[in-house]
A and B are shown apart, each in its own frame.
Chain A
Amino acid sequence: MSEEGDGEAASGALSDGEAVVAAVEAVADRIEAERDHLTDLDSAIGDADHGGNMARGWAAAAEAARDLDDPDPQTVCKTVGKTLMAEVGGASGPLFGGSLVFASAELDDGVTAESAVAFAETYLEKVEDRGDARVGDQTMVDALTPAVHTFKKSIETDELSPLEALAKAVDAAERGVAFTVPIRAKKGRASYLGWRSVGHQDPGATSALYILEELLATAADALDSETPDVDATSPTIPDESEEATASDPEGD
């Protein structure tokens, strides 16, 4: 999930390629800064390579994005996705990078509030399909699903500005990451731990949150605006049935 942006009312956020490149650079810096933390999270439940692989991949992606000549957002997304696919490896390459390549197809006509929603939905769908994961499996899907649903509802139903919608999506992702702690992993390497995975925060979901946070910060920056305040105590639940599934992972 990334590069949501901007409606007519807020042109200049992530609708031009330079801003998207800036967002990618911000993500690369953030992932590098959190590298050891991500590796620590992964060593508790996986093979301790998530931080290093993601940092290497995003550094290469930022470089590739910088090298583009007068890029549009779609080209930046596709380039970043392909670079992540090639550099991150393992399962994270296809999940973070491959999904970005596929989702970038939604940006044929540039970044608008509408295409950003389509982009986000396609990204989530690709991650779910490729990883065969759903909410409650203790994966990055737990961060992305509430974020994407919240973003969509904020744009389509609540008619919020893209920036406010993105802020709400980040808040939702944050709670999604917290939700991975008390549940048992069903997918990914952590699932081999069975019940021992309970109590651990998922590193993939954590990375997804960092990416969203940097998108929001870059978008706010591009609009010369403060990051909108979101009331975390009154979450926007976009789809009751989906959320019901979320809080009730199957018992097996």
Chain B
Amino acid sequence: MKKLINEPDDVVDEMLDGMIAAYPDRLRRLPDTQVVVRDDAPVDGKVALVTGGGSGHEPTHAGYIGDGMLDGAAAGDVFSSPTADEFEALIDACDAGDGVLAIIKNYEGDVMNFETAIELAEMEGVKVESVVVDDDVAVEDSLYTSGRRGVCGTILVHKAAGAKAAEGADLSEVKRVAEKVIDNVGTMGTALTSCVTPEKGEPTFDLGDDEIELGIGIHGEPGTERTELMSADEITDALTEAVLDDLDLDAGQEVLTIVNGMGGTPQMELFVVNRRLQELLGEHELETWDAWVGDYMTSLDMAGASVTVCAVDDELKELLGAPADTPALTQTQ
């Protein structure tokens, strides 16, 4: 499989250097680490938001560093958790004395390494709280988790909690908002092809030309169901119905939706999915407050998409709609 890389072992390192070179006035990399932080970190008078996880999900994680969202992110190797010492360096670099909120996606390695780092940082006197995002409605337990996986809904946690922190709210308030998003968001994804990791150079799983996988995660782990290729509308229906079943929303509820590309699907197809998604929400008498379409949390070059639905109230609308200025997400009011 052709890849635009030099050596597989150097991909993450070279990606981070290239990213810093693209945003030298916004981002910097902590020396001898794979940790990226705001250039002006630590930011005084503000709770710091940090996250991290395996690489291969770009623009997640470092793409969301900036005003109104994250203060920093640790990048692990492709699909591998960052180590605890990297998370610890991240927390130390971002804490300005008002505390740190760690946003963790629910994967065993991420949770254990982040929690270890948090305990070490607390021993040094840093105030740290954490939330674990588990928005994937497809599985209860998976290859990499106990409980549901954390996927694209995490972006909304970054956005809402980031806006709250930017207002100057204290750590408990910022955490409350993060948990509010987690309680109200669900996601389900599909793969049309497997991703190909730089290390392996060939598809992680075999999928026939006429097959798709429903309920996939973001690491090439198997989905919950393999079916024949269906039309975009049929696939959108399957994903959306699973999410709506899980969220169990009342008629008239306002929602924010994301049609997220997995890395190898053109925008054209994502918009086709969004068209049907919005139609279907209408049939369920749900009101779309905002609809995002794009590659927010990818799985390398996997073709496919996920559908995220988040129920919003006035508070979440204000926070999710607040300004943000990051490499991957810019919003003006």
Contacts and interface: CB of A to CB of B under 8 A. Distances in A.
B: contact size bracket: 20 to 34
Interface in A72-126: 82, 85-91, 93-95, 97-98, 101-102
B318 interface: no
Contacts, number: 58
Nearest to B80: A89
A169 B108 CA distance: 29
B69 to A, nearest CB: 27
Interface string B100-130: 0000000011001101100110000000000
A192 B80 contact: no
B109 A89 contact: yes
Contact of B116 (A87, A94, A132, A187): A94
A189 B145 CA distance: 8
A89 B112 contact: no
A94 B120 contact: no
Contact of A86 (B80, B85, B119, B141): B85
Contact of A82 (B85, B141, B143, B146): B85
A86 B74 CA distance: 13
Contacts of B143: 189, 192
Q: Chain A contact residues (Cβ within 8 angstroms of B): what range?
A: 20 to 34
A11 B77 CA distance: 45
Contacts of A238: none
B83 interface: yes
A132 B111 CA distance: 11
Nearest to B112: A94
A29 B113 CA distance: 26
Interface string A46-70: 0000000000000000000000000
Contacts of B119: 98, 102
A90 B116 contact: no
A71 interface: no
Interface of B: 76, 80-81, 83-86, 108-109, 112-113, 115-116, 119-120, 141-144, 146
Given A93-B84, A94-B115, 16 more contacts: A85-B116, A88-B83, A89-B81, A89-B83, A89-B109, A89-B113, A90-B109, A91-B108, A91-B109, A93-B113, A94-B113, A95-B112, A98-B84, A132-B146, A187-B146, A191-B146
24 contacts: A86-B84, A86-B85, A86-B86, A87-B83, A89-B76, A89-B80, A89-B81, A89-B83, A90-B80, A90-B109, A91-B108, A93-B112, A94-B112, A94-B113, A94-B116, A95-B112, A97-B84, A130-B115, A130-B116, A187-B146, A188-B108, A189-B143, A191-B146, A192-B143
